[in-house]
Amino acid sequence: MAPQVQSGAMLTEQKSRLAALFGAAAGQLIAAHGAQAPMPAIELDRPRQAGHGDLASNLALQLARPLGASPRQVAERLKAVVEALDRESAHGPLIESLEVAGPGFINLRLRADAKRAVVGRVLRDGAAFGRGNRGAQRPVMVEFVSANPTGPLHVGHGRQGALGDALAALLEADGWRVAREFYYNDAGAQIDKLALSVQARARGIGPDDERFPADGYRGEYIRDIAADYLARETVSAERVAEVTAGGDVDDLDAIRRFAVAYLRHEQDIDLRAFGVRFDNYYLESSLYDEGRVQATVEALVRAGKTFEDGGALWLRTTDYGDDKDRVMRKSDGGYTYFVPDVAYHVAKWQRGFQRAINVQGSDHHGTVARVRAGLQAIGAGVPAGYPDYVLHKMVTVMRGGEEVKISKRAGSYVTLRDLISWTGEVRDGDEVRIDEQRGRDAVRFFLISRKADSEFVFDVDLALARTDENPVYYIQYAHARICSVLAQWGGDVDALAASAAAGRVDLAPLGGAREFALAARLADFPETVEAAVDELAPHAVAFYLKDLASDLHSYYNAERVLVDDEATRTARLALLLATRQVLRNGLALIGVSAPERM
């Protein structure tokens, strides 16, 4: 069996070759000793101190006991065998030097040409650099946003949109066949409250009137819906038939249908402005219309996982790790909210999605155990831990040094559309215009720039700043700076990229510490993508891009690229071309543009 490997910055094929070298050396020592030791994991990590080399291995410490020798003795033997194997490699040597250090660590320095090889690989792969096929085109569903059609999308929905879309893009880059789904909660008490709120406004009853529903929606958008309903307007939303208002204030069902369609249309506009698309929209109401909720309850009863108490039907969720059993059907005959969620996830499984990921707010934390318990209890073959969840905390918005309060009930919460407009403001003297692309870029980057389960403060003023403190500006400026250098050069960029990709550019002039640091960062990108997929953590890409931009800016400030010496100039331009490509690839994964001018 091939040894497992963990490594620092290097290309995939280099990593595999070094793992094979150390694994083969370990195998030789084990065989020579006659030991029956299993092959240990091959760990190649970056030393904490750069002076200790590019990589370090603790393999000798793992083999010392099976081989009956001190770690340093084993390290010296490993060193000799690895050096010999590397020299004899048909692909050419990778290792500049090996050194035994401390209690038995082996410090490794890569050859300079091995470090530079990433430039050609990036330019050969182009937009595919960082992409893989671990998913093998297996289907996975990412469900996100899934807002109730009871109001405009707020900032929390925006965080879901940014996280979910970036996660879907990362999974696609990892070789999965991704379906993006929006689940509409278009049934239940919240929709009833919406209809009653619009009806009240249509009757001329304002939110401050004591006749207005006590728990109704009070935002000004309710007035707009009522006005269009009375005007018999027609609205449409993604993949649903047009709905024309009847204008009858006593027809609550007609008001409900129009209000839901109206708000779905408004949410569609917001999502398009945010650059988020979905492959499918699934309606909660369809679960009832198709009998899926009733079928789910009946299946749970047949499985013997329910009991009745106090006139209610309960699910034995404690059998599956929940802290207490949960009511499924209330004494009034209505279902609790997690029952249709179980039915929905049974439908996901039956539709062929053996992997599913839900991106939801942390207020859904309590439903995780209940939904999973229901899926286990129903006995449909769904594995434990299905689906995966990414739960995010809400966002605090600061503008002008003050917190902008979020209060959905009061109708004064910050909408996603507000945030895009605020962060897209461009001032030209006394005139202000909105650059939607700039606003979208800022909001999408900021909302995935921290771990999903961490509190986040969105500083609008920082998002507007044209300084290094604004991470979006800092990263995009790195890309634009490279484009500017290439424009100043005035040569054939495509021809240079093709030559470097084919190995026809001499990269030997790239020998400085900053050049090697930049090359090492480029080589990190594929593993960054894999780690972001494994941990369901798009913020890792944002962190990486900021580090890459920092390396680029440091290099640019320290070294001239357009020097007189042609060989040096060409090699440095090739390095910049590779850096530009990786910046583009990373920004594309998180839905942010790569402008050529700032």
- Are 179 and 142 in contact, with CB atoms under 8 Å apart? yes
pLDDT tier, 412 (very low <50, low <70, confident <90, very high otherwise): low
DSSP annotation string for 379-439: TSSPPTTPSEEEEE--EEEEETTEEE---TTTT-PPBHHHHHHHHTEEEETTEEEE-HHHH
According to DSSP, the β-strands at 425-428 and 431-434 are: antiparallel
Q: State pLDDT tens for residues 513-533.
A: 999 999 999 999 999 999 999
Sign of CA dihedral 129, 133, 139, 141: negative
Confidence of residue 2 (pLDDT cuts 50, 70, 90): very low
Place of tokens 């009034």: 332
Q: Is the pLDDT of residue 280 over 50?
A: yes
Query: Is 38 a member of any domain?
Result: yes
Tokens coding 434: 């909105």
Q: Which of 231, 233, 205, 234 lies closest to 218 in space, CA to CA?
A: 205
Residues 308 and 261 in one domain: no
146 and 50 belong to one structural domain: no
Q: What's the pLDDT at 70? A: 97
Which CA distances in Å does 21 have to 25, 65, 84, 309, 419? 6, 21, 10, 66, 53
pLDDT digits (tens, 9 = 90+) for 347-365: 999 999 999 999 999 988 8
Say yes or no: 287 and 178 in one domain.
Answer: yes
- What pLDDT was estimated at residue 188? 81
pLDDT confidence tier of residue 408, bands split at 50, 70 and 90: very low
Rounded Cα distance, 531 and 245, in Å = 50
Number of compact structural domains in the chain: 5
Alpha-carbon distance of 337 to 188, in angstroms, equals 9
- Cβ neighbors of 109 (< 8 A, separation 6 or more) are 53, 54, 95, 96, 97, 98, 99
Q: Give the integer Cα–Cα distance in Å for 146 and 75.
A: 56
Structure tokens at 65: 């006991």
Between CA 329 and CA 306 the distance in angstroms is 10
d(CA 576, CA 556): 10
Contacts of 401 (CB under 8 A, 6+ apart): 461
Same domain, 213 and 145: no
d(CA 268, CA 249): 26
Which pLDDT value is given to residue 430?
Answer: 84
Segment 70-124, tens digit of pLDDT: 999 999 999 999 999 999 999 899 999 999 999 999 999 999 999 999 999 999 9
Assess if residue 155 is contained within a domain: yes
* 6 has a pLDDT exceeding 70: no
Q: What average pLDDT does range 227-234 have in this prediction?
A: 98
Q: How confident is the model at residue 434 (pLDDT cuts 50, 70, 90)?
A: very high
Nearest Cα to Cα of residue 62 among 39, 84, 33 = 39
For the record, the structure tokens of 126 come out as 């182009």
Residue 478 shares a structural domain with residue 583: yes
pLDDT for 97 = 96
> Tokens 């109001």, residue?
151
Name the DSSP letter for residue 335.
B
pLDDT value of residue 8: 45
Q: Which of 109, 182, 167, 175 is nearest to 138 (CA)?
A: 175
- Are residue 195 and residue 60 in the same domain, yes or no? no
CATH number (domain holding residue 40): 3.30.1360.70
Residues 539 and 504 in one domain: yes
Tokens of 459: 């500083």
Measured distance CA(245)–CA(98) in Å, rounded: 77
pLDDT of residue 537: 98
Q: Are residues 24 and 86 in the same domain?
A: yes
The overall average pLDDT reported for the chain is 93
Question: Residue 105 corresponds to which tokens in the numbers above?
Answer: 């660590």
Closest CA to 128 of 177, 174, 179: 174
CATH number of the domain residue 340 falls in:
3.40.50.620
Residue 407 in this model has a pLDDT that exceeds 60? no
The answer to whether 396 and 450 are in contact (CB under 8 A) is no
Per-residue pLDDT at 410 exceeds 50: no
Distance from C-alpha of 82 to C-alpha of 20, rounded to nearest angstrom: 10
Q: Residue 399 is part of which domain span?
A: 395-463
Task: Please report, to the nearest 10 degrees, the dihedral formed by the alpha carbons of residues 344, 349, 353, 358 taken in order.
Answer: 40
Tell how strand 356-361 and strand 139-143 pair up. Answer: parallel
What is the chain's alpha carbon radius of gyration, rounded to the nearest angstrom?
Answer: 29
Q: How far apart are CA 304 and CA 45, in angstroms?
A: 52
Residue 223: name the closest of 261, 268, 262, 187 by CA: 262
Answer yes or no: is pLDDT of 437 > 80.
yes
Higher pLDDT, 528 or 394: 528
Task: Detail the DSSP E strand segments found in 270-362.
Answer: 280-283, 306-309, 312-315, 326-329, 356-361
Q: Which one has a higher pLDDT value, 487 or 186? A: 487
**Domain assignment of residue 74, yes or no:** yes
Mean pLDDT across the stretch 445-467? 96
Q: Is the distance from CB of 414 to CB of 154 less than 8 angstroms?
A: yes
Is residue 3 over pLDDT 50?
no
Choose among 292, 333, 326, 332: nearest CA to 307: 326
Residue 10 pLDDT grade (very low, low, confident, very high; cuts 50, 70, 90): low
**Amino acid symbol at 321:** G
- pLDDT tens for 181-211 read 999 988 888 999 999 999 999 999 999 999 9
- Checking if the pLDDT of 12 tops 60, the result is yes
d(CA 552, CA 578): 11
**Could you say which of 373, 392, 411 is where a domain stops?**
392
With residues binned 3-state (H G I as helix, E B as strand, rest as coil), the percentages for the chain, rounded to 5, are: 50, 15, 35
User: Would 294 be classed as within a structural domain?
Assistant: yes
Domain closes at, from 355, 377, 392? 392
Question: How many C-alpha atoms does 441 have within 13 Å on its Cβ side?
Answer: 23
Whether residue 430 sits in one domain with residue 571? no
- Both 148 and 288 in one domain: the answer is yes
Same domain, 370 and 421: no
Read off the amino acid at residue 427. R
Whether residue 168 is contained in a domain is answered as yes
Q: What angle do CA 157, 161, 166 make, to 5 degrees?
A: 155
Residues 71 and 161 in one domain: no
3-state secondary structure of 149: coil
**Residue 66 located in a structural domain:** yes
164-190 mean pLDDT: 95
Domain closes at, from 344, 374, 392: 392
What share of the chain has pLDDT > 90, as a percent? 85
Task: Identify the CA nearest to 77 among candidates 94, 56, 98, 92.
Answer: 98
* pLDDT tens digits along 550-578: 999 999 999 999 999 999 999 999 999 99
Instruction: Work out the percent of the chain whose per-residue pLDDT is above 70.
Output: 97
Asked if residue 56 belongs to a domain, the reply is: yes
118 within a domain of the structure (yes/no): no
Q: Buried b / exposed e across 244-257, counting CB within 10 Å, b at 16+?
A: ebbbebeeeebbbb
Q: Are 61 and 71 in contact (CB under 8 A)?
A: yes
Q: Looking at residue 515, what is its pLDDT?
A: 97
- The residue count for the chain: 598
Residue 322 has pLDDT above 80, yes or no: yes
Average pLDDT over residues 266-287: 95
